[in-house]
A = this chain, B = another copy of it.
Amino acid sequence: MVDHQKAQQAVAMLLEAIGEDPSREGLVETPARVARMYEEVCGGYDENAAEHLSTTFHVDGSEMVVERDIRFYSLCEHHLLPFFGTAHVAYIPDGEVTGLSKLARTVEVFARRLQLQERLTAQVADALMDDLHAKGAIVMVQAEHMCMSMRGVRKPGSQTVTLAKRGLFAQDERLVDDFFRMVR
Protein backbone atom coordinates (compact mmCIF):
# COMPACT_ATOMS: atom_id res chain seq x y z
CA MET A 1 0.00 0.00 0.00
CA VAL A 2 2.78 2.42 0.95
CA ASP A 3 4.84 3.58 -2.03
CA HIS A 4 8.21 2.92 -0.40
CA GLN A 5 10.33 4.74 -2.91
CA LYS A 6 8.22 7.88 -2.73
CA ALA A 7 8.02 7.72 1.07
CA GLN A 8 11.80 7.42 1.33
CA GLN A 9 12.31 10.33 -0.99
CA ALA A 10 9.88 12.43 1.07
CA VAL A 11 11.59 11.58 4.36
CA ALA A 12 15.06 12.38 3.00
CA MET A 13 13.68 15.71 1.80
CA LEU A 14 12.16 16.38 5.23
CA LEU A 15 15.50 15.67 6.91
CA GLU A 16 17.16 18.20 4.62
CA ALA A 17 14.39 20.72 5.25
CA ILE A 18 15.05 20.65 9.01
CA GLY A 19 18.74 21.21 8.37
CA GLU A 20 19.89 17.63 8.98
CA ASP A 21 22.32 15.64 6.87
CA PRO A 22 20.48 12.53 5.56
CA SER A 23 23.84 10.91 4.78
CA ARG A 24 25.22 11.03 8.33
CA GLU A 25 25.61 7.63 9.95
CA GLY A 26 22.54 7.62 12.23
CA LEU A 27 20.21 8.88 9.49
CA VAL A 28 21.26 6.84 6.44
CA GLU A 29 18.64 4.18 7.10
CA THR A 30 15.97 6.54 8.46
CA PRO A 31 14.01 7.07 5.21
CA ALA A 32 13.69 3.30 4.72
CA ARG A 33 12.78 2.76 8.38
CA VAL A 34 10.13 5.47 8.33
CA ALA A 35 8.63 4.02 5.15
CA ARG A 36 8.41 0.59 6.85
CA MET A 37 6.98 2.23 9.94
CA TYR A 38 4.14 3.83 7.96
CA GLU A 39 3.40 0.46 6.38
CA GLU A 40 2.84 -0.81 9.91
CA VAL A 41 1.18 2.14 11.68
CA CYS A 42 -1.06 2.89 8.70
CA GLY A 43 -1.80 -0.77 7.96
CA GLY A 44 -5.48 -0.18 8.71
CA TYR A 45 -6.10 1.34 5.27
CA ASP A 46 -5.69 -2.11 3.75
CA GLU A 47 -8.14 -3.79 6.09
CA ASN A 48 -11.80 -3.53 6.76
CA ALA A 49 -13.72 -4.30 9.89
CA ALA A 50 -16.29 -6.45 8.10
CA GLU A 51 -13.71 -9.19 7.48
CA HIS A 52 -13.03 -9.49 11.19
CA LEU A 53 -16.61 -9.09 12.35
CA SER A 54 -18.00 -11.72 9.99
CA THR A 55 -16.80 -14.59 12.21
CA THR A 56 -19.79 -14.93 14.53
CA PHE A 57 -21.35 -17.42 16.93
CA HIS A 58 -25.02 -17.85 17.68
CA VAL A 59 -26.31 -16.89 21.16
CA ASP A 60 -29.73 -16.79 22.75
CA GLY A 61 -30.65 -13.56 24.46
CA SER A 62 -29.16 -10.14 23.96
CA GLU A 63 -26.94 -9.27 26.90
CA MET A 64 -24.35 -6.55 26.57
CA VAL A 65 -20.78 -7.65 25.77
CA VAL A 66 -18.00 -5.30 26.91
CA GLU A 67 -14.35 -5.45 25.91
CA ARG A 68 -12.58 -2.87 28.03
CA ASP A 69 -9.08 -1.37 28.15
CA ILE A 70 -8.11 -2.16 24.59
CA ARG A 71 -4.75 -0.38 24.23
CA PHE A 72 -4.24 1.31 20.92
CA TYR A 73 -1.84 3.63 19.11
CA SER A 74 -2.85 5.93 16.31
CA LEU A 75 -1.44 8.90 14.40
CA CYS A 76 -2.99 12.36 14.59
CA GLU A 77 -3.78 13.49 11.07
CA HIS A 78 -3.00 17.10 11.96
CA HIS A 79 0.60 16.69 13.11
CA LEU A 80 1.53 13.08 12.22
CA LEU A 81 2.35 12.55 15.91
CA PRO A 82 1.10 9.55 17.90
CA PHE A 83 -1.94 9.56 20.13
CA PHE A 84 -2.55 6.54 22.31
CA GLY A 85 -4.65 5.22 25.12
CA THR A 86 -7.51 2.80 25.68
CA ALA A 87 -10.81 2.02 24.05
CA HIS A 88 -13.82 0.45 25.77
CA VAL A 89 -16.12 -1.21 23.27
CA ALA A 90 -19.56 -2.71 23.95
CA TYR A 91 -22.51 -3.97 21.94
CA ILE A 92 -25.91 -5.61 22.30
CA PRO A 93 -25.94 -8.70 20.08
CA ASP A 94 -28.84 -9.57 17.86
CA GLY A 95 -28.51 -13.34 18.12
CA GLU A 96 -24.88 -13.35 16.95
CA VAL A 97 -21.69 -12.56 18.91
CA THR A 98 -18.23 -12.19 17.46
CA GLY A 99 -14.90 -13.46 18.79
CA LEU A 100 -13.55 -11.16 21.51
CA SER A 101 -10.28 -10.58 19.71
CA LYS A 102 -12.31 -9.23 16.80
CA LEU A 103 -13.37 -6.23 18.88
CA ALA A 104 -9.71 -5.38 19.48
CA ARG A 105 -8.97 -5.99 15.81
CA THR A 106 -11.76 -3.61 14.83
CA VAL A 107 -10.14 -0.92 16.98
CA GLU A 108 -6.80 -1.62 15.24
CA VAL A 109 -8.32 -1.41 11.76
CA PHE A 110 -9.38 2.18 12.43
CA ALA A 111 -6.52 3.21 14.75
CA ARG A 112 -3.86 2.30 12.18
CA ARG A 113 -4.63 5.26 9.95
CA LEU A 114 -4.16 9.03 10.10
CA GLN A 115 -6.98 9.82 12.45
CA LEU A 116 -9.03 12.16 14.56
CA GLN A 117 -10.02 10.64 17.88
CA GLU A 118 -13.68 11.51 17.32
CA ARG A 119 -13.69 9.76 13.96
CA LEU A 120 -11.93 6.68 15.31
CA THR A 121 -14.59 6.42 18.05
CA ALA A 122 -17.48 6.78 15.63
CA GLN A 123 -16.03 4.36 13.06
CA VAL A 124 -15.68 1.56 15.61
CA ALA A 125 -19.28 2.06 16.78
CA ASP A 126 -20.58 2.17 13.21
CA ALA A 127 -18.72 -1.04 12.31
CA LEU A 128 -20.41 -2.88 15.19
CA MET A 129 -23.80 -1.71 13.94
CA ASP A 130 -23.21 -2.24 10.21
CA ASP A 131 -20.93 -5.27 10.09
CA LEU A 132 -21.90 -7.19 13.24
CA HIS A 133 -25.55 -6.08 12.94
CA ALA A 134 -25.66 -5.27 16.66
CA LYS A 135 -28.83 -3.83 18.22
CA GLY A 136 -26.73 -1.20 19.95
CA ALA A 137 -23.08 -0.16 20.24
CA ILE A 138 -21.13 2.18 22.50
CA VAL A 139 -17.46 3.12 22.33
CA MET A 140 -15.44 5.27 24.70
CA VAL A 141 -11.89 6.27 23.85
CA GLN A 142 -9.43 7.95 26.22
CA ALA A 143 -6.12 9.07 24.82
CA GLU A 144 -3.12 11.32 25.24
CA HIS A 145 -2.10 13.26 22.14
CA MET A 146 1.61 13.86 21.71
CA CYS A 147 0.74 17.01 19.78
CA MET A 148 -0.68 18.39 23.05
CA SER A 149 2.15 17.20 25.29
CA MET A 150 5.38 17.67 23.34
CA ARG A 151 4.59 20.84 21.42
CA GLY A 152 2.02 23.62 21.10
CA VAL A 153 0.21 24.05 24.44
CA ARG A 154 2.54 21.45 26.06
CA LYS A 155 0.11 19.85 28.48
CA PRO A 156 1.55 16.42 29.25
CA GLY A 157 -0.89 14.08 30.96
CA SER A 158 -4.05 15.72 29.68
CA GLN A 159 -6.42 13.23 28.11
CA THR A 160 -9.06 13.49 25.42
CA VAL A 161 -12.20 11.43 26.07
CA THR A 162 -14.72 10.65 23.32
CA LEU A 163 -17.94 8.65 23.23
CA ALA A 164 -20.16 7.28 20.48
CA LYS A 165 -23.60 5.72 21.12
CA ARG A 166 -25.59 3.92 18.47
CA GLY A 167 -28.93 2.05 18.35
CA LEU A 168 -30.26 0.95 21.76
CA PHE A 169 -27.51 2.90 23.54
CA ALA A 170 -28.80 6.10 22.01
CA GLN A 171 -32.32 5.32 23.30
CA ASP A 172 -31.93 3.64 26.68
CA GLU A 173 -29.96 5.48 29.37
CA ARG A 174 -30.05 2.42 31.65
CA LEU A 175 -27.87 0.54 29.17
CA VAL A 176 -25.43 3.44 29.14
CA ASP A 177 -25.38 3.37 32.95
CA ASP A 178 -24.56 -0.35 32.89
CA PHE A 179 -21.76 0.24 30.40
CA PHE A 180 -20.15 2.91 32.57
CA ARG A 181 -20.41 0.69 35.67
CA MET A 182 -18.82 -2.19 33.77
CA VAL A 183 -15.83 -0.20 32.54
CA ARG A 184 -15.16 1.67 35.80
Binding site for B on A (CB under 8 A): 1-4, 6-7, 9-11, 13-20, 26-27, 29-30, 33-35, 37-38, 40-42, 45, 71, 73, 77-82, 84, 114, 116, 146-147, 149-152, 156
CA distance A177 to B107 in the complex (A): 47
| Known pairs A33-B79, A77-B26; A9 contacts B18 (CB<8 A) | no
B3 near A7: Cβ-Cβ < 8 Å: no
Rounded to whole Å, the gap between the CB of A57 and the closest CB of chain B is 28
What residues of B have a CB within 8 angstroms of the CB of A147 in the complex? 37
Can you list 23 A-B contacts with CB-CB less than 8 angstroms, sorted by A residue number? A1-B18, A2-B18, A3-B17, A3-B19, A4-B17, A6-B13, A9-B17, A10-B11, A11-B14, A17-B38, A18-B42, A19-B42, A26-B114, A29-B78, A30-B77, A33-B79, A37-B81, A37-B147, A37-B151, A40-B151, A82-B150, A84-B149, A146-B146
